[in-house]
């Protein structure tokens, strides 16, 4: 049996915090995040660059962490879903996904939301075609995508609202929301 390669100590900047960790040269960024830093929001789906469930932002750019070496992520600004917005606040994209019920099992959700957030950083009013293109690397096998695309459009209108209570109260389709939905933490998975 071949000996495992020696580990190397690296430093990663994740969600604004610096972490020192020892990794093998072949350790992926996803493995380092999930199994060493315990940031399990990034999902291990296909583990070969096909599904987008492992998407994180590297210097603001959506990146598939399952095919990106941890060692190569040194010196880069890594954002995972846990750091998309400072707690207890939520990012407008998270808020909009919640409002639109743009999830079912939730497995694709963190990658989907990070790709959407990156899109809105570079294009504050994307067309439906631009949203489809930006999310084309993130696969969802539950929702059929319509509510996801709607959620990104709703998030556009929320981005300037400083507080959750100040966001528009009209839901997609023109339904007037009497009250905003409960915070994410208070809701059951998949609740509309």
| 44 lines the binding site for ligand FES (CB under 6 A) | yes
Residue 64, beta-bridge partner list:
55
Given 52, 62, 83, 92, the residue binding ligand FES (CB under 6 A): 52
Smallest distance from ligand FES to CB 178, Å: 27
Residue 69, beta-bridge partner list:
28
Q: Where are the beta strands (DSSP E) in 50-146?
A: 55-58, 61-64, 77-79
The answer to whether 80 and 56 have CB atoms below 8 angstroms apart is: yes
Given 5, 11, 74, 105, the residue binding ligand FES (CB under 6 A): 105
Residue 176, beta-bridge partner list:
170
**Range in contact with ligand FES (rule: CB under 6 A) among 7-15, 19-27, 51-59, 164-172:** 51-59
Given 77, 104, 164, 172, the residue binding ligand FES (CB under 6 A): 104
Comparing CA positions, the residue from 23, 188, 183 lying closest to residue 88 is: 183
| 143 lines the binding site for ligand FES (CB under 6 A) | yes
Strand order in 61-64's β-sheet? 17-23, 8-14, 77-79, 55-58, 61-64
| 149 lines the binding site for ligand FES (CB under 6 A) | no
Q: How would DSSP label each residue in 60-78? A: TEEEEGGGSBGGGGTTSEE
Cβ closer to ligand FES: 2 or 54? Answer: 54
Binding mask 61-100 for ligand FES (x = CB under 6 A): ---x-x----------------------------------
Which residues contact ligand FES (rule: CB under 6 A)? Answer: 44-47, 49-54, 64, 66, 103-108, 140-143
């Amino acid at each position: 049996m071949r000996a495992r390669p020696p580990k190397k100590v690296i430093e990663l900047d994740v969600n604004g915090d610096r972490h020192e960790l020892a990794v093998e040269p072949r350790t992926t960024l996803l493995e380092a995040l999930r199994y060493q830093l315990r940031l399990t929001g990034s999902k291990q789906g296909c583990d070969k660059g096909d599904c987008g469930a492992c998407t994180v932002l590297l210097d603001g750019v959506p990146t598939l962490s399952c095919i990106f070496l941890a060692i190569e992520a040194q010196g880069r600004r890594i954002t995972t879903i846990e750091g998309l917005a400072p707690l207890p606040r939520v990012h407008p994209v998270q808020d909009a996904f919640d409002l639109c019920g743009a999830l079912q099992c939730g497995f694709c959700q963190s990658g989907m939301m990070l790709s959407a957030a990156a899109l809105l950083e570079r294009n504050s009013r994307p067309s439906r075609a631009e949203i489809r293109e930006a999310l084309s690397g993130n696969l969802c096998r539950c929702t059929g995508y319509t509510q996801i695309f709607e959620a990104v459009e709703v998030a556009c209108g929320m981005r300037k609202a400083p507080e959750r209570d100040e966001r528009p109260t009209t839901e997609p389709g023109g339904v007037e929301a009497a009250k905003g939905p409960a915070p994410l933490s208070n809701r059951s998975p998949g609740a509309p």
